[in-house]
Structure 1
Amino acid sequence: MARLTDECLATGGSLSLEAAAALIKARVPVAAGIETVPLAAADGRIAAEDVTAAIRLPPHDNAAVDGYAVRHADLGVGETWLPLAGRIAAGDAPGPGAMAGRAVRIFTGAPLPPGLDTVFMQESVRRDGDQVALPPGAAPGAHRRRAGEDAEAGEVIVRAGTRLRPQHLALAAATGHERIAVRRPLRVALFSTGNELAEPGAALAPGRVYDSNRPLLAALLRRAGADLRDGGILRDSAGLVGRRLVEACGEADLVVTSGGVSAGDEDHVAAALAREGELAFWRLALKPGRPVAMGLIGGTPVMGLPGNPVAAYVTYAFVAAPLLARLGGATWQKPPSLLVRAAFAHRRKAGRREYLRVSLCEGADGEAELVKFPREGSALLSSLTGSDGLAELPEDLAEVVPGSRLRFFSHLALQSP
């Protein structure tokens, strides 16, 4: 189980996102164990150790095109005629040593014989029997792939903490790896809280709404590679919430909840954290998503996200995701973003980081611009389905005017592991 140190707890006030991420990085240890798996089973997993190249890549100088290999020193100022001295295809041995004054018919990927350093494309060469005419102007080393230009033996090709993608697996395979050490999936328990919630598909009693946060967060957690344990809906009972959180913390590496983190009489998550364990922080300088509770019970981290769906989405992306990455041994970086011109005006009270739901459109001049979703409110799920992503307003920005440059995070980037 993960263990937080006492020094990180009892942080008061409203934290910035950077302060929350720094606290997590500095104080939360890796919880996921290590296993070695075949490359075929490693996609999406976290590299547990640096991966080094077992061999040079490519292992030998080779031809980048079909054509003729020569020694550049044998070329004259004008057209050069050289006799042919053999044929080498991909998979053949490189052949004898230096062949001064001769050319070799060669194919893409075939090893260059020692001493030959330049390759002519076949379409630029004239052939007459066993002689070839080579045009002038070729640069030394043209169309030659140098041994080790992709990776040298012993070079780190994948850093520990990297989420493995197909290109990482291809590079590992090309340098001789059949298996790779990865982090085990985190065990994450997920709950929604609230008397008003009903399971989708059940009869909807007066005053109830269907639970949408659990499907939202479950999908995001699974995309991040979590071994998810669905705890269902917790009713608004201080005793029940505390008891279920304690039970979940005994079985999981991380517990994630939504709802019940504000200051109302029926908000029991933050109070349960303080009562059953320790509370690290409770409020963030963030809109939407100011009430976010993080702490631990019995050494296991608990992340209490807001109940409004948009606030849950935003705080998952910028608060829960760094925690999940840290526990899982991954290197977390803020999702990729672009500076894009705003096509709208927006006034607000400065002092908090704010994320607006926006769509990416093409302006009259052909430049990309951001259009704000026409309605606000952190309960509007349609604002997530009807937008392309989020525009970030820094704490000191009080007004957006058309033409302002805002940082844009696409939903695809926010939802990628």
Structure 2
Amino acid sequence: MSGGTGPTGQGALGGHGNTAGMRSVEQHLADVLARIRPLPPFEQHLLDAHGHRLAEDVIAPRDVPLFDNSAMDGYAVRRIDVLGADQDNPAVLTVTQEIPAGAAATAEIGPGACARIMTGAPVPPGADAVVPVEWTDGAADGTVRIYRAPDEGGHIRRSGEDVRAGQPLLAAGTLLGARQIGLLAAVSRDLVAVRPSPRVVIISTGSELVEPGTEPGPGKIPDTNGYTLATAAREAGAVVYRVGVVADDAKLLLDTIEDQLIRADLLVTTGGVSVGAYDVVKEALHGLGTVEFGRVAMQPGMPQGFGVVGPDETPIFTLPGNPVSAYVGFELFVRPAIRRLLGHQEDLHRPVVEAVCTEGFTSPAGKRQFARGVISPAESAGRIEVRPAGGSGSHLMGGLAQANCLISVPEEQTRVEAGELVSVILLDDDAAAHSANPLP
């Protein structure tokens, strides 16, 4: 499934121009990504590298297996000595040595001789097959009776049959899961260069906010955004630090941001970016001259801010305070930035598919709407359907929690009719499983 069509469902970035002084979604995203560079790679031990993406091409430094070894417990033989052996006419060989796994040196096998050998042990010189112990009388010394001849090279794992020295193993950008870590261990790599997980700091602003679990007093509400954005950043691959609620105090907010710079690769604030009297994020950051605030032609999430702060020019996103607005802004702008920090090139965005909308709804003129939706397979084979979920209010978390996609409606379209084909941004794996026709 393609994830490279951008966040809008409208194909390549470029899109529509400004609407009444607003910037388009594509323009804002392009400016964001132009300032984001992948984090520099560093070497990690294998277990610590798990879950990260490779920042190097890995070439096999040696063969795997390193040496010819037995695939079975049994007897290393010269196949010519056991040809024709059966139950009535067993081959009788002299057991001249026993070779356990880990043995460093073995004697050569001569005519009429064999070696008792364990799984993984090196095959001795002169032997060209291994007879499983089940085909013998199991003698440990003296002589052994063999009742069946193996195929040529039977039950021998040949040096390099899995991996050859110099063979490309894993390409830069590969996500290191259990199987890839096992392969690296098999070729004796203990350190690999990986892209670190970006450290993302989430800051919720607003004197009205209290921690979930606290009984809200008059005029107070739980901090929805801090938890929504922290978990969304984790899902995007970040290491997340959620700062507690910061009251509407510009100096306190600026001090908090400066304190967090030491551990942040990217900062996200939520709230305080509109035109209210207490929009302290704009007040706190405006003097720095590096963060631009403006309006993006989208619903929800029109007020957006982005820039860099601190001596290391740490990127900072200032998202709106309404929960759905903050989440949609994160999906469209912050998530691609996190993916870029991780070293992704092509798959920055959520997958986009086309679906038949089962219910009509209106859309604001001049703004790209991202309506919450639920995608599901249609009863008729070969198509998928989507229906709007919940209302359009940017405070309505109930519908967002039920949604598994966003329906993208272009700026010039003011209504979606039932039965119309629409572009849909998939938000989770469950939605992706329902879709069968990703856009190219």
> Quick check: TM above 0.5?
yes
Asked whether the equivalents of residues 199 and 210 of structure 1 are also in contact (C-alpha less than 8 Å), the reply is yes
Counterpart amino acid of 2:210?
A
Which one of the candidate residues 375, 379, 396 is aligned to 1:364? 379
The alpha carbon displacement at 1:230 in A equals 1.7
Structure 1 match to 2:18 = none
Asked whether the equivalents of residues 338 and 409 of structure 1 are also in contact (C-alpha less than 8 Å), the reply is no
Structure 1 match to 2:397 = 381
Is 1:168–2:180 an aligned residue pair?
yes
Distance 1:404 1:253, change over 3 A: closer
Asked whether the equivalents of residues 408 and 424 of structure 2 are also in contact (C-alpha less than 8 Å), the reply is yes
Asked whether the equivalents of residues 61 and 144 of structure 1 are also in contact (C-alpha less than 8 Å), the reply is yes
Asked whether the equivalents of residues 205 and 246 of structure 2 are also in contact (C-alpha less than 8 Å), the reply is yes
Counterpart amino acid of 2:192?
I
Structure 1 match to 2:79 = none
- Alpha-carbon displacement from aligned partner over 1:37-83 (angstroms, at most 9, x marks no partner): 33222222343443332234566899999xxxxxxxxxxxxxxxxx9
CA distance in structure 2 between the partners assigned to 1:277 and 1:186 by the alignment: 25
The alpha carbon displacement at 1:210 in A equals 0.8
Distance 1:31 1:334, change over 3 A: closer
Which one of the candidate residues 384, 390, 404 is aligned to 2:405? 390
SS of equivalent residue, structure 2 residue 185 = helix
User: Which sits farther off after the overlay, 276-285 or 305-314?
Assistant: 276-285
Total equivalences in the alignment: 395
**Could you say which structure has the larger radius of gyration?**
2
Which one of the candidate residues 222, 233, 252 is aligned to 1:210? 222
Asked whether the equivalents of residues 57 and 148 of structure 1 are also in contact (C-alpha less than 8 Å), the reply is yes
Distance 1:317 1:413, change over 3 A: farther
Q: Percent identity?
A: 32
SS of equivalent residue, structure 1 residue 296 = strand
Structure 1 match to 2:260 = 248
Which one of the candidate residues 37, 41, 50 is aligned to 1:43? 50
The alpha carbon displacement at 1:238 in A equals 3.7
Asked whether the equivalents of residues 318 and 334 of structure 1 are also in contact (C-alpha less than 8 Å), the reply is no
Structure 2 match to 1:70 = none
CA distance in structure 2 between the partners assigned to 1:301 and 1:206 by the alignment: 36
The alpha carbon displacement at 1:358 in A equals 1.2
Counterpart amino acid of 1:302?
I
The alpha carbon displacement at 1:269 in A equals 2.0
Which one of the candidate residues 316, 324, 339 is aligned to 1:302? 316
Counterpart amino acid of 2:44?
V
Which one of the candidate residues 7, 10, 14 is aligned to 2:24? 14
Which one of the candidate residues 331, 338, 347 is aligned to 1:333? 347
- Alpha-carbon displacement from aligned partner over 1:253-275 (angstroms, at most 9, x marks no partner): 32211112223333232443332
**Aligned counterparts, 1:231-242, within 5 A:** 231-235=244-248, 237-242=249-254
Give TM-score, length-normalised by structure 1: 0.67
Distance 1:403 1:395, change over 3 A: closer
Structure 2 match to 1:28 = 36
The alpha carbon displacement at 1:205 in A equals 1.9
Distance 1:193 1:339, change over 3 A: same
- Alpha-carbon displacement from aligned partner over 1:338-389 (angstroms, at most 9, x marks no partner): 635335133444752625331435x3335663342442233222223323x1
Asked whether the equivalents of residues 355 and 423 of structure 2 are also in contact (C-alpha less than 8 Å), the reply is yes
- Alpha-carbon displacement from aligned partner over 1:17-48 (angstroms, at most 9, x marks no partner): 7x61x4444433345673x3332222223434
Counterpart amino acid of 1:164?
L
Which one of the candidate residues 389, 397, 401 is aligned to 2:419? 401
SS of equivalent residue, structure 2 residue 327 = helix
Give TM-score, length-normalised by structure 2: 0.64
Asked whether the equivalents of residues 189 and 252 of structure 1 are also in contact (C-alpha less than 8 Å), the reply is yes
Which runs of 5 or more structure 1 residues have no equivalent in the other structure?
1-10, 66-82, 84-88, 96-106, 114-129, 134-142
Distance 1:289 1:175, change over 3 A: farther
The alpha carbon displacement at 1:212 in A equals 1.1
- Alpha-carbon displacement from aligned partner over 1:390-410 (angstroms, at most 9, x marks no partner): 144263766562565745342
Structure 2 match to 1:121 = none
Asked whether the equivalents of residues 223 and 245 of structure 2 are also in contact (C-alpha less than 8 Å), the reply is no
Structure 2 match to 1:76 = none
Counterpart amino acid of 2:419?
V
**Aligned counterparts, 1:282-321, within 5 A:** 282-298=294-310, 299-321=313-335
Structure 2 match to 1:101 = none
The alpha carbon displacement at 1:155 in A equals 4.4
Asked whether the equivalents of residues 408 and 422 of structure 2 are also in contact (C-alpha less than 8 Å), the reply is no
Distance 1:400 1:147, change over 3 A: farther
Is 1:198–2:210 an aligned residue pair?
yes
Distance 1:393 1:256, change over 3 A: same
CA distance in structure 1 between the partners assigned to 2:257 and 2:24 by the alignment: 24
Distance 1:280 1:147, change over 3 A: farther
The alpha carbon displacement at 1:91 in A equals 9.6
Structure 2 match to 1:261 = 273
SS of equivalent residue, structure 1 residue 303 = strand
